[in-house]
């Protein structure tokens, strides 16, 4: 049967080391910065949710009233990914293992199958304290500029966005090869095109700044992780 876009089952252990390190560093930054009511745009199969549940628990144990109240809304077009998250949460909470302690659970979860281009149809302005759009999700969506604007409209405080970095085309194609994904490259823009994941763009610092012109937020942090991705933190004005 022909593989549908995005249907690939990922085995993180098979990823090149640099990519595993990128994911671990990104998760750490997100856990340090995340607060309040969180929206995860293009949440996939829930990479970040287990980590957030864990920090919600840690903050609860520290009795940090101001910081502890986290809630999570994940949206993705792929309903089966959301079913996957739901199953993982149920299984883990039933097991009551150390990462997902169900006895004092502090992470309410909402999952919605909607298109990232339509956030304003479902959410009101400034509804979320923290909005995430990770692992170059913005760089694979159609109309990324419109989605970025929509993200910042529904964000009250901060948005954390990661984007593919220009100059890393060799590493990025090695990653596709290591997963056995056929691809072609649009050399000028360093866009990788595959049936599995569609168009995956990469950005220079200037392009990120240009994309951010006219939005109601300013960039307060921007750093390169493993020379593969940018992580950008926007704060509302
Ligand atoms: C690169 S994956 C990233 C998954 C997750 N954010 C992470 O960091 O692990 C991109 C995700 O965006 C989702 N996606 C693609 N187009 C979308 C759209 N128009 N609206 C919402 N989600 C979309 C895909 O289904 C996929 O789960």
Each domain of the chain, given as residue ranges in start order, spans 12-167+204-236
Q: From the CA of 130, how far away is ligand 1's center (Å)?
A: 17
Q: Tell me the sheet residues that pair with 233.
A: 160, 221
Q: From the CA of 147, how far away is ligand 1's center (Å)?
A: 12
Helices (H), strands (E): how many in the chain? 9, 10
Range with the lowest mean pLDDT among 54-58, 73-77, 130-134, 184-188?
A: 54-58
Torsion angle, alpha carbons of 172, 178, 184, 190, to 10: 0
pLDDT in tens, 103-135: 445 578 999 999 999 999 999 999 999 999 999
pLDDT in tens, 155-212: 999 999 999 999 999 999 999 999 899 999 999 999 999 999 999 999 999 999 999 9
For residue 76 and ligand 1, the question of a CB distance below 6 A is answered with yes
CA dihedral sign, ordered 39, 34, 155, 192: negative
The pLDDT of residue 3 is 37
The rounded mean pLDDT for the chain is: 88
CA dihedral sign, ordered 229, 200, 4, 146: positive
The answer to whether 146 and 213 have CB atoms below 8 angstroms apart is no
Which strand (E) or helix (H) includes residue 99? Answer: none
Q: Which atom of ligand 1 is nearest to the CA of 132?
A: 6
Q: Which atom of ligand 1 is nearest to the CA of 117?
A: 19
The pTM of the full predicted model, rounded to 2 decimals, is: 0.91
Between CA 77 and CA 82, with CA 5 as vertex, the angle to 5 degrees is 35
Ligand 1 atom 27: residue of nearest CA: 44
What is the fold of 12-167+204-236? Rossmann fold (3.40.50)
Q: Is the pLDDT reported for residue 11 higher than 80?
A: no
CA distance 62 to 55: 10
CA distance 57 to 207: 38
Ligand 1 atom 9: residue of nearest CA: 47
State how far the alpha carbon of 106 is from the alpha carbons of 53, 98, 159, 179, 208, in Å.
Answer: 7, 14, 22, 36, 35
- Contacts (Cβ under 8 Å, ≥6 apart) of 192: 169, 172, 173, 176, 183, 184, 185, 186, 199, 200
β-pair type (229-236, 184-186): unpaired
- Label each residue of 115-151 as H, E or C: CHHHHHHHCCCCCEEEEEECCCHHHHCCCHHHHHHHH
The pLDDT of residue 59 is 75
| 98 or 16, which is more confident | 16
The answer to whether 69 and 62 have CB atoms below 8 angstroms apart is no
Question: In the structure encoding, which two tokens stand for residue 192, read together?
Answer: 């990788």
Ligand 1 atom 26: residue of nearest CA: 44
**Alpha carbon 37 to chain centroid distance?**
15
If phi > 0 it is left, if psi is from -120 to 50 it is alpha, else beta; for residue 204 that is: beta
For residue 81 and ligand 1, the question of a CB distance below 6 A is answered with yes
Question: In the structure encoding, which two tokens stand for residue 41, read together?
Answer: 């745009």
């Amino acid at each position: 049967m022909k593989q549908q876009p995005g249907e690939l089952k990922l085995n993180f252990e098979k990823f090149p080391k640099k990519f595993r390190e990128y994911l671990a560093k990104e998760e750490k930054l997100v856990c340090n910065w995340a607060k309040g009511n969180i929206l995860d745009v293009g949440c996939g199969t829930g990479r970040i949710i287990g980590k957030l549940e864990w920090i919600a628990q840690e903050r609860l144990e520290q009795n940090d009233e101001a910081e502890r109240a986290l809630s999570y809304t994940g949206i993705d077009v792929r309903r089966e990914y959301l079913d996957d998250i739901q199953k993982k949460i149920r299984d883990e909470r039933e097991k009551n293992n150390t990462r997902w302690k169900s006895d004092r659970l502090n992470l309410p979860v909402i999952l919605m199958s909607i298109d990232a281009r339509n956030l304003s149809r479902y959410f009101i302005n400034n509804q979320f304290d923290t909005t995430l759009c990770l692992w170059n999700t913005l760089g694979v969506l159609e109309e990324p500029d419109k989605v970025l604007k929509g993200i910042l409209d529904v964000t009250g405080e901060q948005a954390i966005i990661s984007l593919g970095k220009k100059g890393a085309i060799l590493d990025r194609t090695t990653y596709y090869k290591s997963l056995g994904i056929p691809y072609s490259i649009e050399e000028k823009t360093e866009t990788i095109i595959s049936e599995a994941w569609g168009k995956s763009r990469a950005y220079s610092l200037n392009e990120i700044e240009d994309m951010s012109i006219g939005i109601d937020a300013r960039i307060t942090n921007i750093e390169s992780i493993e020379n593969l991705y940018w992580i950008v933190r926007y704060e509302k004005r």
